[in-house]
Amino acid sequence: MTQVIQSLAEWQELRRTLSKDLGFVPTMGNLHPGHLSLLQRARQENAVTLLSIFVNPTQFNNANDYVHYPRTLEADITLAREAKVDYVLAPASQALYPDDYAYQVSEIEFSEQLEGTCRPGHFTGMLTIVLKLLLLARAQRLYLGEKDFQQAALIRGLTQAFFINTEVVICPTLRNEFGLPYSSRNARLTPEQYEQARLFPALFHADLSCEEIKKQLVEKGFAVDYVEEYDGRRFAAVKLGDVRLIDNIVVVPIGVQTS
Ligand code: PAF
């Protein structure tokens, strides 16, 4: 039976009674198959599963993106029940920011790259909320999607820097029928943009240089924030209208390919 909790005090009281073996999936809601795969893995590997749903205002560098972010709490709770999640924590915004965001956690190296170059303040907002959630969840394991690889790497770094005893498990990216990573933002694409979005994975995964991929994406009508290789991975962020899509893959070094 899934229990939905809004009050942080109630959650903290309850947490004291629960097993140490808790698997945690933090989300901003609008659950999609990618989230469901994280919940399934958390359920397989832990005695208790916690899902948090909180659209975190401080990680949106674009006010329009925050306003239009899909909020589907009732449908998310139904999916959580079907996925047999034990607890859904869905706190109100003020509850998580009693300090009015006066206290912030920032990282000054990897967060300055890739997404950090296009989304000022995003990673500070993200790391700050994740630290709060980690301290509330006191989870044994935290499950994150590889689609947001930079986010996942920064969160792993956060747990190490602050001696947080939670293992960060990074799970494979789940993709739709034409290879686009599932994302809550996909729901905001118009039918025409959704069709056009097919070209993003097709080009991103092609055996072409980053420059060539970028050129072709621009020709096909995408606004390209970056297509870049960093530390053995290729990363890209593009926009269709004001909907931002991101992806990343491991780049196999030349000479290592087996076929
Ligand atoms: O990936 C997300 O949905 C968010 O960035 C997270 C990790 C839940 C923090 O708000």
**What residues are paired with 229 via a beta bridge?**
234
pLDDT in tens, 143-185: 999 999 999 999 999 999 999 999 999 999 999 999 999 999 9
The residue whose CA is least distant from atom 5 of ligand 1 is: 126
| pLDDT band of 254, cuts 50, 70, 90 | low
Task: Measure Cα distances from 101 to 22, 58, 90, 124 in Å.
Answer: 28, 8, 19, 11
64-123 pLDDT, tens digit each: 999 999 999 999 999 999 999 999 999 998 999 999 999 999 999 999 999 999 999 999
Give 67 Cα–ligand 1 centroid separation in angstroms. Answer: 16
Structural domains of the chain ordered from first start:
3-171 (3.40.50.620), 184-248 (3.30.1300.10)
**For position 252, what pLDDT does the model report?**
73
- At 9, the amino acid letter reads A
If you count them, how many residues does the chain have?
Answer: 259
Q: Closest Cα to residue 210, out of 228, 198, 237?
A: 228
For position 259, what pLDDT does the model report? 47
pLDDT in tens, 184-199: 999 999 999 999 999 9
The mean pLDDT value of the chain amounts to 96
Given the CA of residue 148, which atom of ligand 1 is nearest to it? 1
Residue 34 CA, ligand 1 centroid: distance in Å: 13
- 209: exposed, middle or buried (C-beta count within 10 Å: 0-12, 13-18, 19+)? exposed
Q: Is 93 or 41 the better-scoring residue by pLDDT?
A: 41
Ligand 1 pocket residue status of 126, Cβ below 6 Å: yes
Please indicate whether residue 148, judged by its CB atom, sits closer than 6 Å to ligand 1.
yes
Q: What is the pLDDT of residue 105?
A: 98
Q: Is the pLDDT of residue 28 over 50?
A: yes
What pLDDT, on the 0 to 100 scale, is given for residue 93?
87
The encoded tokens of residue 203 equal 């080009």
Burial readout 223-234 (b: 16 or more C-beta within 10 A, e: otherwise): ebbbbbeeeebb
pLDDT at 61: 93
